[in-house]
Amino acid sequence: MAQMMTRLGIAALAVAGMAATATARDLTVVAWGGSTQAAQKKVYYGPFTAATGIPLLEDSWSGGVGVLRAKVQAGQPNWDVIQVESDELHIGCDEGLYEKPDWAALGGKGAFMKEAVSECGVGSVVWSVALAYNADRLKEAPKSWADFWNVEKFPGKRTMRRGPKYNLEFALMADGVPQADVYKVLRTPAGVERAFKKLDELKPNIVWWTAGAQPGQLMASGEVSMAASYTSRMFAAQRDDKRNFQVVWNGSIYAIDHWVVLRGSPNRDNAMKMVQYMTRPEIQKQLPPLSFQGATNLEAAKQTDAAAAPSLPTFPANLAVSGSLDVEFWVDNIEQLTQRFNAWASK
C-alpha cells in the first residue's frame, strides 16, 4: 500500500510538473513592429531584462480590440503587456479587459500628460498620422489634404490605411472643412456622407495599407507617390534607408498610445514592473530620438534630446498645425463606421 501511495504520489507530481511546464511562459510584450519596436527593443526590452533578470518575448500586432477580447475571454492570455491605441484602451477598459495600473508606483498621475492617464493604462508615446510624399517623384511639394486629392497636379497613386479612422477626417479637410471643425461636421449624418463622397473621388487612386511599414515600401517601389502615414515611419526611412520622403505636418492628426496589461495575465506582477520601467523619465527620454514619437512622461519630454524635437508630433510648430484625434468620437462610432467603410471599400 505504501509503495502504491508512493508511486501514485510520484505520478501526481510528474503530472503537476508537466502542467506547470505547459502553462509557464515568459513575459510577453506586444507592440506595432517596425522601426518603432526596434527602438523599443533597444531602449526598453533588453535593458529591462538586464536590470531585473526577467526574460521576455516580444510580438507585434495590427490592432483591434476584438483580438484582445478573445484572448481574455479564452482565459490565460498569451500576451501580457500590449501597446494599444486610445479607442482600444477605452473600449477594452469599459469591457474589463485590462488590469488597473498602480499610479503611485508609476510616480503619480501628475508625472504624465493628462491624456496619458487612465484607470486602465499608461500613455506610452505621442504619435501622428500625416501627409507624406516621395520628393524624388513630385516636382512640386504638396501642402494640404486638398493637394493629396489633386491627382492632376500631383500625379501618382496614394496609399491610406484601410479603415475609416483618419481617412474620414482627411477627406473632410480635403473638402474644405477647417481642422478645428472636422469632428463637429463628422458627428452629423450629412458630415459622414460628405466624407464618403469625397473618398469616392480618390478611390480609383488609392492603394490600401494595413501595416505601418507598407506606406514607405509602396513609396520606395514607386507604386504610390503620396501616403497618409505614421510620421515616425517616414523619418525612420529618411534615417535608415536614405529615402527622400517628406512630411507635411499641416492637417496631421496626433494621438497617444497606451501600455495595458491584459486581465488574467499569469505574469501580471512582472508586466506591471515592465510598464513602470518603460515610463520612468530617465528611460523614456531615450525613445523619441530613435522612434520619432513624443514622450508622455513630462520629465522625459523635458529631457528629450533637442536635436530630435522638430521630428516629433509634440514639437510646438508641429502641434500648431495639427489636431488631436477625438477618442470619444471613435469609441462611439468605430464599429458602425468600420462596417460602412468595409462595405464601401469592397465595392
pLDDT tens, position by position, 216-242: 999 999 999 999 999 999 999 999 999
Mean model confidence pLDDT for the chain: 93
Domains of the chain: 27-126+256-320 (3.40.190.10), 128-254+325-346 (3.40.190.10)
Task: Tell me the CA distances in angstroms from 339 to 11, 329, 333, 335, 346, one per residue in order.
Answer: 53, 16, 10, 6, 11
Task: Express each pLDDT in 146-198 by its tens digit.
Answer: 999 999 999 999 999 999 999 999 999 999 999 999 999 999 999 999 999 99
Set of cell numbers at residue 328: 470619444
**Average pLDDT for residues 88-108, to the nearest whole number?**
97
Give the C-alpha separation, 128 to 292, whole Å: 10
- In the block, cell 467603410 appears at 341
Residue 101: which of 284, 255, 225, 258 has the closest Cα?
258
C-alpha cell read off for 45: 526590452
Q: Is 253 helix (H, G, I), strand (E, B) or coil?
A: strand
pLDDT surpassing 50 at residue 18:
no
Pairing of strands 245-261, 81-84: antiparallel
> What's the CA gap between 219 and 221, in Å, rounded?
5
- Crossing angle for the helix pair 86-94 and 65-74, to the nearest 10 degrees: 40
Asked whether residue 3 carries a pLDDT value surpassing 50, the answer given is no
* Least confident range of 6-10, 192-196, 227-231, 311-315: 6-10
- Do residues 274 and 54 make contact, with C-beta atoms less than 8 angstroms apart? yes
The string of DSSP codes covering 147-190 is: HHH-TTTS-S-EEEESSSTTHHHHHHHHTT--GGGHHHHHTSHH
Instruction: Lowest mean pLDDT of 8-12, 66-70, 253-257, name the range.
Output: 8-12
Across residues 307-324, what is the average pLDDT? 96
Residue 208 has pLDDT above 60, yes or no: yes
What dihedral do alpha carbons 209, 215, 218, 221 form, nearest 10°? -160
- Residue 219's nearest CA partner among 137, 154, 162 is 137
- Would you give the distance in Å from CA 282 to the centre of its chain? 22
Q: Please list, in sequence order, all residues whose beta carbon lies within 8 angstroms of the beta carbon of residue 135, skipping any fewer than 6 positions away.
A: 141, 244, 245, 246
- Reported confidence tier of residue 5, pLDDT bands at 50, 70, 90: very low
Give the number of residues written for the chain: 347
Residue 24: its pLDDT value, please? Answer: 67
| Residues in a beta bridge with 256 | 126
Q: Which residue has the cell 530620438?
A: 289
Residue 21 has pLDDT above 60, yes or no: no
8 falls in which pLDDT band (50, 70, 90)?
Answer: very low
Q: What is the DSSP letter of 42?
A: I
What average pLDDT does range 125-144 have in this prediction?
97
Q: What is the pLDDT of residue 32?
A: 94
β-strand pairing of 226-230 with 122-134: antiparallel
Give, in order, the Cα–Cα distances in Å from 192 to each of 133, 303, 322.
Answer: 27, 42, 21
Strands 56-60 and 206-209, bridge-based pairing:
unpaired
pLDDT at 76: 86
